[in-house]
Chain A
Amino acid sequence: MEQASAQPAHVHAPPQTFLRKHVFSLDHKVIGKQYYGLALVAVFTGMVLSWLMRFHLVWPAVKIPGLEFLAKGGAPGGVITPEYYLSLLTMHGTLMVFFVLTNAPFAGFGNYFLPIQIGAEDMAFPRFNMMSFWVTFVAFLVLLLAFFIPDGPPISGWTAYAPLSAIGNDAGPGLGWGQNLWAMSIAIFCIGQLLGSLNFIATTLDLRARGMSLMRMPICTWAWFVTACIGLLAFAVLLPACLLLLLDKLAGTSFFVPAGLVVSDRLQPHAGGSPLLWQHLFWFFGHPEVYIAILPAIGIVSHVLITSMRKPMLSAKVLIYSMMSIGFLSWMVWGHHMFVSGMNPFSSLLFSFPTLTITIPATIITLIWLGSLYGANLRINSASLFALGFVSMFVSGGVSGFFLAQPSIDIYLHATYFVVGHFHMVMGVAAIFGIFSGTYFWFPKMSGRMMNETLGKLHFWITFIGTYCIFMPFHYLGMAGNVRRYSSFVDDFMAPLMPLHKFISIAAFITGGAQLIFLYNLIHSRFRGAPATENPWEGTSLEWSMSSPPPWDNFGGRHPVVYHDPYQYGVKGSKGDYVMQDSAEQPATSS
């Protein structure tokens, strides 16, 4: 296992000062925890925003005590105005998609575990890595700043369609400096993500330990790698899009705004721009982005399930190739967000075919999971429960996508709650379950302490049932024709649907409240949890071959060598029911 070193002693010196250890750390593990912490703040903020939205939809006239002070004009007398509702909606989406779903499963866990799982001491560019977190942090602050300026946050949704987002305050509140801060925040975020993706790719290609061929990397490592490849290209497109938007807003250019627009009785001083150009650029990024959100969760859940099942997947290679296919196909489908946008209707048909085709690798992945469960020796704990819950959610969310992939059906379902239900199921629930599963699984390694299993299971049950109660009904609302992004439901048409909305809101409050159990568990266990051993789950990949938490340089100066793939469970003739990846143990009998 040891090997004479042909390499420099360390990539960077051991941290000495408090700042170097905990703040401006070059250590990928600290950076991973920083990303996770940022995501935690973002997710609770985003959740509170969604509570305000759900409350307002169902009890629009009820005063929320104290909100008039927090909301800076957006809720006079504690009652949310239509424009503030849209601000909440915009910030909720932006926080969740960018600062939670791109941060936690990818930048958080990926930063922590990718170098370890490939046997490296750290990422390829530790300084860029540190920069990537702090740049992301600055982006977060810039975004939150929008809540505190007089203009308020933007009201154009996380999708910020032009010309609404490009014209300024003539089109509504929040669209002046609120929108500018949004665009700046996202542009800065793109830079952070590009630096991060660069690190992930270079590290995976160049810093693998001896014996760690690409196909011997754990499935979650592959997921992070594919995600980084997608992210590199996707964020490289969103960045110029945001810059062009800022130029339209601040410099008088007309990339996205055509001539002759009369807004608030004022003829707008733009000409020749194309609103559809913004949509194309945005969704060219936006569709791969949702795979950036789900692929790490797919990887994490696969990884957790294998350890919990005490057997490998039917084929890790098939899972990996399927993830790569999803990554590849994700570039060809962006127009399915634009079926009724005014785009050439022939293009809509063209986009629908790869969209439907993506169902194939997604189904393969699901069937591999299900098929692998057969004959398993499944251990049930918080981590595996969330992984199983993920499978259920992935199916539910994926199946509704099938409807939206067809342009003719999308004519009816576009911009209804059906769409909102679909993306919340896959992103808002499934991807979050991936994060939860990873947390319960890896918390012992990261902190040296075990989380409380009883609380974890309680958290699971309330969340699993609760999220179904919230988001399954969204599909029914959509089928009935309930339009999305409405701050109030004022039509007679909506009256029979209000009881269902009430049910959803109540479920949302309960389920959201249950997340406090998770937060408590996280914090309490960090300080008072039972001490964790090196390998509490009897896992086989490299992260389980070191102390909990790992030493600052991961492998304590040694250079691990791996001898086979990381999923040697149930090997006949071996001593236990698993063999570590860096173990050269030969089974007593082989056949």
Chain B
Amino acid sequence: MATTTYTPLPVQTRSAAAGGSRSGVWVGIFAITMFFAAVTSALSVRQGSGDWSHISIPSIMYANTLVLAISSLTIELSRRAMSRSLATGSATLAAQGWLGATLVLGLGFVAGQYLAWRELAARGLYLATNPNSSFLYVFTGAHVLHLLGGIAGLLYLAARVAVNGTGLRRNSFENTAIYWHFMGVLWLYLLVVIGVRL
């Protein structure tokens, strides 16, 4: 048998970085994308059944979109402030402030979506009214649920920063911000689907 030649020196790996995982949030985003892709394909199939109608988007959803977009901005500002604080060892007040703003805007979005559902109900469009309304509620409801997960993440971050100052796992802020941006991007996609297909 031929001998195995050794590589006596270890290979450098992008390994066990202090502060945990960078790829985890992307993996999660991938899974959530697949969830919404499945519902979109269900929509495509269901659309072929001949009982399709049309729903005009409740106008408040445009306002909600703006709110969510601004919240992406504020979390970005928070994240950068946090990086500066970590680097210089200074206070985290700015980071906390922008984080709080993101939280408020996020909750504002949820409230706005609730108002959108109220408007739909006022128009007589409920979950089971017709296939278009079913998908509208499913899409927006699922998005809000995932967004609430993001809000939980924001709350967790806020608590850790308040208690621990700069003792966060290095990637926690990055990962939460990435997830939050994804919620915004996902919402834009859903807005297009709702507008064009529903």
What is the interface of chain A, defined by CB distance below 8 A to chain B? 6-8, 11, 120, 124-125, 194, 197-199, 201-203, 205-213, 216, 232-233, 235-237, 239-241, 243-244, 247, 251-255, 258, 271-274, 276-277, 280-281, 284, 311, 375, 559, 561-564, 568, 570-573, 584, 586-587, 590-591
Contact = CB atoms under 8 A, between A and B. Distances in A.
A205 B10 contact: no
A559 B15 CA distance: 11
Nearest to A214: B13
Interface core residue of B14, B18, B45 (most chain A CB under 10 Å) = B45
B134 A120 contact: no
Contacts of B142: 240
9 contacts: A6-B18, A206-B17, A206-B23, A236-B32, A253-B128, A255-B131, A272-B131, A280-B45, A563-B9
A201 B23 contact: yes
Contacts of A198: 24, 27-28, 31
B21 A252 contact: no
Nearest to A212: B13
Contact of B38 (A8, A237, A564): A237
Interface string B28-47: 10111011011101100110
Interface core residue of A207, A239, A240, A273 (most chain B CB under 10 Å) = A240
Contact of B42 (A212, A213, A281): A281
B12 interface: yes
Contacts of B30: 232-233
Contacts of A210: 10-13, 15
B49 interface: yes
Contacts of A281: 38, 41-42
A125 B24 contact: yes
A559 B37 CA distance: 41
A66 B9 CA distance: 67
B24 A124 contact: yes
Nearest to B48: A274
Identify the 6 closest CB pairs spanning chains A and B, nearest first.
A211-B10, A202-B24, A252-B128, A236-B34, A124-B21, A272-B51
A431 to B, nearest CB: 24
Contacts of B6: 563-564, 586-587, 590
A232 B19 CA distance: 24
Interface in B76-128: 127-128
Nearest to A199: B24
A234 B19 CA distance: 29
A586 B27 CA distance: 39
Contacts of A573: 3
Contacts of B48: 274
A564 B10 CA distance: 7
Given A210-B11, A251-B127, A272-B51, 17 more contacts: A194-B31, A198-B24, A199-B24, A211-B13, A212-B13, A236-B31, A237-B37, A244-B138, A253-B134, A272-B50, A272-B131, A273-B49, A277-B46, A281-B41, A570-B1, A587-B3, A590-B5
A207 B51 contact: no
A44 B13 CA distance: 43
A564 B11 CA distance: 9
A273 B46 contact: yes
A207 B15 contact: yes
Nearest to A254: B131
A572 B1 contact: yes
B42 to A, nearest CB: 6
Given A209-B13, A240-B35, A281-B42, A7 B4 contact: no
B9 A206 contact: no
Contact of B16 (A7, A239, A254, A568): A7
Contacts of B42: 240, 244, 255, 277, 281
B8 A584 contact: yes
B8 to A, nearest CB: 6
B34 A233 contact: yes
B2 to A, nearest CB: 8
A274 B3 contact: no
A277 B43 CA distance: 10
Contacts of A216: 11
Contacts of A272: 46, 49-51, 131
Contacts of B5: 590
A375 B21 CA distance: 43
A423 B182 CA distance: 39
Given A233-B31, A563-B8, A586-B8, A240 B20 contact: no
Interface core residue of B17, B34, B142 (most chain A CB under 10 Å) = B34
Interface core residue of A7, A203, A277 (most chain B CB under 10 Å) = A277
Contact of B4 (A6, A202, A251, A568): A568
Contact of A207 (B4, B12, B16, B28): B16
Contact of B20 (A206, A237, A570): A206
Given A237-B35, A273-B46, A274-B45, A209 B3 contact: no
B105 to A, nearest CB: 26
Contacts of B21: 124-125, 202-203, 205-207
A236 B41 CA distance: 13
B134 A255 contact: yes
B7 interface: yes
Contact of B138 (A199, A247, A564, A572): A247
